[in-house]
Amino acid sequence: MPRPVPYRGRFAPSPTGPLHFGSLVAAVGSWLDARAHGGEWLLRMEDLDTPRIVPGAADDILRTLEALGLTWDGPVVRQSQRHDAYHAALHALKQAHRAYPCACSRKEIADSGIAGIEGYVYPGTCRAGLPAGRAARAWRLDTRGSGVIGFDDAVQGRVGHDVEHAIGDFVLYRADGLTAYQLAVVVDDAEQGITDVVRGADLIDSTPRQLWLQQALGLPTPRYAHLPVAVNAAGEKLSKQTLAPAVVARECSRALAAALAFLGHAPPPSMTPARPAELLLWGTAHWDRARVPRARTQPTPPA
C-alpha cells in the first residue's frame, strides 16, 4: 500500500497587533484544512519587520490561539532568530548570479513610470551593475524570463501572472537591512517542510514570486489554498490599519462560529452556543475546500 502523502500546514502571523477577524480566518482555515487531512499545523511568528512589530503582540496571539483551541505542533518558529538561514539563501542566489545589488530609491523607480500590479515595476536599472558612484541599498532577484507563473489554487482555481512584467525584479533584502517577506517565507516554508500553504487571498499575488524564488533556490513548491479576505463595510481588508477589533478570549465561541460561517461552514443552529472544542471538532469533520467561497466579503455577525 502506498503511504499517504504527509500533510504539514502552518499559520504565520505577523505580530503587529492582536489577532483580529481577518487573521482568525487564516488561522481557522489553515488549522481545519490541516486537521481534516490528518496533518500537522505549525506556527511561525513573522517578526522580521521590526518597525511594525508591537511588543507583547506575539504572546497575545499565542494566548488567543490557545483559548480558541487552535493547538499547534512543535515549537513556535520566530523569524527574528533565523537571520543566518536568510543570509545563506541570499548568498546562494548571489553565487548563482540570480541576485544583484540595487542603488535605486523608491522615487527613482516611480519615475520610471511602468505601472504593475503592485505599484511600479522595477525597470532593471542596476541589473547590469551599480551605476558609478552609487552604493547598494537593497538586493533584488532577477526575474527575466519568468513568463507566466501559474498555479492551481485549491480555493481560487487557476491563477498566476508574468512576474517579470507584472512585478519586476523584486527585493530580497531591504534597504533598511531587513530580509524581505518573500525570501523569508520561502526559506521557512521549505525548512519547516510545509506541504500546504493555506492563507488569505490578500497574499495571492505574492505566490508567483515565491514559486520563482523556490525554483531559483532549488526548493520544493507546496500546494496553495487562498482563503477569502474579510472586509469592512467600506470594502477595506480587516487589519490593524482599518481598526479591526481584536478577538477576545471570552468571545471565543462567537468568533469561531463567525469564522466557520465566513469560510462556508456555518455550524447548525442547534449547535450554537457551543464550546470552541466542539465547534472545531464539527468543523474538522465537515471541512470541504469546495465550500469555501472565493470572493472577499464582509463577515455576518453571528445571530
Contacts with ligand GLU by CB under 6 A lie at: 12-14, 46, 185, 199, 203
116 near 166, Cβ under 8 Å? yes
Round to whole Å and give the CA distance between 288 and 50.
Answer: 37
Between 203 and 217, CB nearer to ligand GLU: 203
Task: Report, in Å, the least distance between residue 187 CB and ligand GLU.
Answer: 12
Between 45 and 93, CB nearer to ligand GLU: 45
CA angle 20, 25, 29 (to 5 degrees): 150
Beta bridge partners of residue 280, listed in sequence order: none
Task: Report, in Å, the least distance between residue 285 CB and ligand GLU.
Answer: 25
Between 16 and 253, CB nearer to ligand GLU: 16
CA angle 126, 96, 194 (to 5 degrees): 105
How many Cβ atoms are within 10 Å of 6's Cβ, its own excluded?
11
Task: Report, in Å, the least distance between residue 205 CB and ligand GLU.
Answer: 12
Task: Report, in Å, the least distance between residue 19 CB and ligand GLU.
Answer: 10
| Cell reading at 190 | 521549505
Q: Where are the alpha helices (DSSP H) in 82-197?
A: 83-95, 106-112, 163-166, 181-191
* All residues at 6 or more sequence positions from 161 whose CB lies less than 8 Å from its CB, including other chains: 117, 148, 149, 167, 205, 208
- CA dihedral (49, 53, 56, 58) positive or negative: negative
Between 31 and 100, CB nearer to ligand GLU: 31
Between 139 and 181, CB nearer to ligand GLU: 181
Between 102 and 203, CB nearer to ligand GLU: 203
Task: Report, in Å, the least distance between residue 158 CB and ligand GLU.
Answer: 20
CA angle 202, 204, 192 (to 5 degrees): 105
Between 46 and 196, CB nearer to ligand GLU: 46
Task: Report, in Å, the least distance between residue 49 CB and ligand GLU.
Answer: 9
| Category of 243 on φ-ψ map: left (φ > 0), alpha (ψ -120 to 50) or beta | left
Task: Report, in Å, the least distance between residue 111 CB and ligand GLU.
Answer: 30
